[in-house]
Amino acid sequence: MSKNISFSLYMAQHILYINGIQKCLNHSTVFNHKKPTECAFGKMFYSEIKPNMDIFSIEKQDVINILEKTHIAFHETAFDITENNPDIENAKQTAWLHSTKLINLLNALEKISG
């Protein structure tokens, strides 16, 4: 396990996930929402990063812990993005807010050494 994990790869996985949600919304089809541990991002996170936290600097560990909470919050709100939700606009807005924070955290992790 190397400290040189590509956080941009995590970002790409997350963007693919949100693009999938948007595509389903655009075509009025049902998106197969996943739990935070079941999406590609989560599978990588819980196999590469979480079990190896001790290889990262304390600064990076702190950001990773916030990243994990943000990722979970994103999924919790994304589950509400369904055509039959009368408050879908609020669900989208909240999920996209978590999504933006997630991307910003991943950008920060790319820049922090150690």
- What's the pTM? 0.92
Give percent of the chain with pLDDT exceeding 70.
Answer: 96
- What DSSP string describes 2-23? -S---HHHHHHHHHHHHHHHHH
- Please tell me the distance from the alpha carbon of residue 64 to that of residue 53, in angstroms, as a whole number: 9
- 98-112: pLDDT as tens digits: 999 999 999 999 998
CA distance 25 to 22: 5
What domains are defined for the chain?
7-111 (1.20.120)
CB 46 within 8 Å of CB 87:
no
- Residue with tokens 């994304």, as numbered in its chain: 78
- Tens digit of each residue's pLDDT (9 = 90 or more) over 55-77: 999 999 999 999 999 999 999 99
Are the C-beta atoms of residues 8 and 106 closer than 8 Å to each other? yes
